[in-house]
Structure 1
Amino acid sequence: MTATLEPTTTSDAPAATFDSLNPANGDLVGTHPIATKAEVDAAVAVARETADWWGNLSFDERGEFLLTWRSVITRRIAQLADLSNRETGKPHSDAQLEIVLAIDHITWAAKHAKKVLGPHRVAPGLLMANQAATVEYRQLGVVGVIGPWNYPVFTPMGSIAYALAAGNTVVFKPSEYTPGVGRWLADTFSEVVHGRPVLQVVTGLGETGNALCTSGVDKLAFTGSGRTGKKVMAACAENLTPVIIEAGGKDSFIVDEDADIPKAAEAALWGGMSNAGQTCIGTERVYVHERVFDRFVAEILDQAKDLRAGSDAGAKIGPITMPSQLDVIRSHVEDAVAKGAHVALGGPDAIGERFVQPTILTHVPEDSTAMTEETFGPTLAINPVKDMDEAIRRTNATSYGLAGAVFSKKRGLEIAKQVRSGMTSVNSIIAFAGVPSLPFGGVGESGFGRIHGPEGLKEFTYAKSITRQRFKPPMLLTTFARDAKTDGRAAQLITLLHGGKKTIK
């Protein structure tokens, strides 16, 4: 049985399809079926049947399948990177980088699921001292995953690999801009599990995603815009399906006066421009201590002078994958300039029909959309601040709370702890994403729930608590035969344990 759901028809009418196009030149990459509601429901039904087999394997057995899949992806990394390059337009080397990170995450999930999710003994406390208490984490059953187009391998893998390692089967709806990548992942996993539909792909547009939300999956993991995330939550609410939402960000980059300026500029430039700025955890706002502001701007402009977007081998930035985003980028840049921002590099004229050249603005008004809304393009807004308190205050003055970075030799950790976000890197850029044991996710309008790390494994399970009586209790409290004497002894014991004022050590 193939891991990719093929459309079924009840008449001679051809199944509906859509095309995947190369955003760099408009070339056709592939044609894919639009899965209907009935077809999505059928995929979930098949996944539920297969869950009995997959979920009853041991952690070690599932781990072996996942590690084999990891090896297959590793051996074919050039093939997958080429497909990602054609569907997203990102440079081949960037496509390879996200696959490398995904491979590392598959490995971690496969090797740590047993330790994180297996039975653990817990202390029963004095009142239940006669009980042996354990907790373990059981798979939910079938997990739905709706993935994004900007990192079509790394981002959904944070849900897929961890859900599989926890013992769930998965139905994956990739972005309509990168369906080929999703199909490739499912087909290679199908090879590993000898055709069993443990990981299936349903391709399509928004209606297909909505169908997955209402299909009765046991949990749904979504990555995308906050606006679409709200629609996902509303659809999932019909069946009380729990969700993980990884939405957008307006991440800041803080530079203290003692920072290594060349390194900070290098990190900010990459954080803002890599993947054409189409990174939810990328840099959009930069706050620099006023004492080093001019040095920082001069340095980043010097490093950016040869950086450009294009489809040739010398270009390090690809196209804007989603055409409608071009209007968003243009409106943000024009709004900032109209309100008084200084154009240090690029500007409104840098926005073309497919590509956006690197754009750096300084002294950007805090009420401009370039500072308040997610731009998702190769732009940076750099503003001076009088001190780190102001940098923190401005950083936190947003409804988003996904990620960020701090560059400071002495106060980096102190500043990072005051930033309201799910993730912050100190003296590096997005390093947390490459650490498989760290949870990944945001707060506020950046979403909720976590992928990666122990928390990411537990997201796709439910806790199962078990007590086992080891010996007869000194006081049997759970019986109608309990008498006044027993009640008195219980009251004396609880008073002895908790009636006095205690200090926390």
Structure 2
Amino acid sequence: MNVDASFLSKLSSIPHKAGSSPKESEFSRAYGAQLAWSQLPLKERLSRLKKVRSLLVHYRRELADAIQTPTRQGYRETVAAELLPLADAARWVCRRARKILKTRYASRWVTPFWLGGLHSTVERVPHGLVLIIGAGNYPLLLTGVQTLQALAAGNGVVIKPAPGAERVTELWVKILEESGVPEGLILVLDSSIAAAEHAMEIGVDKVVMTGSSASGRTVLGRLANSLTPATMELSGCDAVYVLPGADMHRVCDLLLFGLRLNGGATCMAPRRVFITRKASEVFHRLLAQRLAQENQRDWSSPIPTSVYRRVWDGVENAVAQGAKVFESHGRHPLPDLRTLERNDSSESGNTKTVAMGHLVLTDMTPAMDMCSWDIFAPVLMIIPVDDWADALQADSQCPYALSASIFGPLEDALRITKYITAGCITINDLIVPTADPQLPFGGRGESGFGVTRGDEGLLSMTVPKVVSVRKGAWLPHAQPPTPADESVLDGLLQCVHSSTWLARWNGVRQIVQAILAMRNKQ
């Protein structure tokens, strides 16, 4: 049977949830658009998405200007951190999606012979409407990749942008619609929490969220009653292991890069550095040299006042327990909290911010509160250890497990990867390798579950649908039970799965004897 337009029209008129509000009607129309989109051949969907890359180039300046993230360090950082990775992800999806999402045919050689003439396929079908709860720190890249993969898989998309990301989200949807994505297939909500709550109340088929672990728990609580599946890409407090033999110059350069990237507002930013006490002196000296450089010592990033207060409280607590604030060039990196109520805070958008420099804490211990916090600020905590068993034990006390980095000889680094709990581990680098569009990304523990990006992320935007076709007339399970059935089935189990040939032969003999006995009775 050919699925014609009139048939799709009838299905499209069925609302996902009855209701008369404008928003519910909008969702109902989106389901209709999604149904039509999912019926397009995958090749056709991808041909439209191919245009996204060139449109990203065309609108690159407008996109950069639309990003209101206060910690962003200018156009150069936006190109490197968002535009280039998003364009690469668009190219990867268009090149790889047909292979990843193709129908799989069950092997006749693997199908148990007692199932007879069975022909089965496994199709990858879309969820339906996917709600994407966007992040404010990388509002284009994260939402963009998730949207592309959802659309390629045949879904419709509902986007709840982070506060401040409304403009760039609207421009992103404009790019998608100019590329050929049907109008109405993507809904953009306002940035309020209530908007996401209302969307989940109306009903969506999957939620992809990027945010804090606390927010993730709230969202999961709302999804529990409807059993709506979710991917939770949550916070991090990432570990860095500095092994004996590591290139300390490289370590310090990359730690500084990680601290400064997006003003410290990166979920994968290095937070906890494990280094042996023997190597600490050299490490501290090299790090101090870099922090004292002219282009470093005056660097600062606007941090929301609420985040800054939390950092201040954590520092006071850590110092009281023996930690030290690493001062470079004779300057303390934290403005006095008591001055915030006067004139040291400024407005960035609608958020009060404080200019904060690099904050490096030494002599930290894993028991200190800050070592288990998700902090969106340029904070680095140095934790001295005796050996690598000690480091692994210290790392395990943190509930977050998003990513980790190891610096040192390759053989030694590879040896300890199996003992580190993290969604992603980089060796002799940090953060940047995760931009490879073919790699999945996701965390464990407090850092969430499920993945986005890569083959696995694209597959997660679908569900498997199995279609089994019975061929032939042999249907023993449709026949009335006989006294021989028990012996035949028991013999079959022995014949197929026993560990020795003798036991298998005994199974065959039992089957034959049971069948002959039944025939003799007849």
Tell me the TM-score normalized by structure 1.
Answer: 0.85
Query: Quick one: structure 1 residues 178 and 90, their matched pair in 2 at CA, closer, same or farther if it must change by over 3 Å?
Result: farther
1:63 pairs with 2:64:
no
Distance 2:195 2:434 in 1: 29
Query: Quick one: structure 1 residues 239 and 151, their matched pair in 2 at CA, closer, same or farther if it must change by over 3 Å?
Result: same
Distance 2:294 2:309 in 1: 22
The residue number in structure 1 matching 2:74 is 91
Query: Quick one: structure 1 residues 240 and 274, their matched pair in 2 at CA, closer, same or farther if it must change by over 3 Å?
Result: same
3-state SS in 1 of match to 2:313: helix
Pairing 1:340-489 to 2, within 5 Å after superposition: 340-345=322-327, 346-349=332-335, 353=345, 354-409=354-409, 410-471=411-472, 473=474, 476-489=475-488
Preserved CA contact (<8 Å) 1:403 1:421: yes
Preserved CA contact (<8 Å) 1:214 1:239: no
Residue 160 (structure 1) aligned to one of 143, 147, 151: 147
Distance 1:38 1:59 in 2: 33
Query: Quick one: structure 1 residues 302 and 350, their matched pair in 2 at CA, closer, same or farther if it must change by over 3 Å?
Result: farther
Residue 113 (structure 1) aligned to one of 80, 88, 97: 97
Q: Deviations over 1:3-35 (max 9, x none)?
A: xxxxxxxxxxxxxxxxxxxxxxxxxxxxxxxxx
Distance 1:383 1:224 in 2: 26
Q: Deviations over 1:230-257 (max 9, x none)?
A: 1111122242222111111111100001
The residue number in structure 2 matching 1:494 is 493
Preserved CA contact (<8 Å) 1:120 1:136: yes
Q: Deviations over 1:51-77 (max 9, x none)?
A: 022111111111111111222012322
Preserved CA contact (<8 Å) 1:88 1:177: no
- For structure 1, the 5+ residue unaligned runs are 1-36
Q: Deviations over 1:119-160 (max 9, x none)?
A: 112332333363223212101111110001011111222321
1:137 pairs with 2:124:
yes
Q: Which amino acid is the alignment partner of residue 332 of structure 1?
A: G
Distance 1:334 1:90 in 2: 29
The CA RMSD measured in Å over matched residues stands at: 2.4
3-state SS in 1 of match to 2:399: coil
Q: What percent identity do the matched residue pairs reach?
A: 26
3-state SS in 2 of match to 1:214: helix
1:50 pairs with 2:33:
yes
Q: Deviations over 1:314-346 (max 9, x none)?
A: 95x6422x4422222222222222322111134
Q: CA deviation at 1:284?
A: 0.7
Distance 2:181 2:463 in 1: 28
Preserved CA contact (<8 Å) 1:257 1:291: no
The residue number in structure 1 matching 2:86 is 102
Q: Compare 78-87 and 427-436 and name the one that shifted more.
A: 78-87
The residue number in structure 2 matching 1:41 is 24
Select the structure of larger CA radius of gyration.
2
Q: Which amino acid is the alignment partner of residue 465 of structure 1?
A: V
Query: Quick one: structure 1 residues 385 and 86, their matched pair in 2 at CA, closer, same or farther if it must change by over 3 Å?
Result: closer
The residue number in structure 2 matching 1:30 is none
Distance 1:208 1:56 in 2: 29
Q: CA deviation at 1:447?
A: 0.7
1:239 pairs with 2:222:
no
Distance 2:139 2:71 in 1: 9
The residue number in structure 1 matching 2:167 is 180
Distance 2:197 2:73 in 1: 28
Aligned residues: 459
Q: Which amino acid is the alignment partner of residue 105 of structure 1?
A: A
Q: CA deviation at 1:195?
A: 5.5
Residue 207 (structure 1) aligned to one of 178, 190, 194: 194
Q: CA deviation at 1:198?
A: 2.0
Q: Which amino acid is the alignment partner of residue 333 of structure 1?
A: V
1:269 pairs with 2:252:
no
Query: Quick one: structure 1 residues 259 and 402, their matched pair in 2 at CA, closer, same or farther if it must change by over 3 Å?
Result: same
The residue number in structure 1 matching 2:512 is none
Q: CA deviation at 1:493?
A: 2.1
Q: CA deviation at 1:395?
A: 1.3
3-state SS in 2 of match to 1:259: coil
3-state SS in 1 of match to 2:477: coil
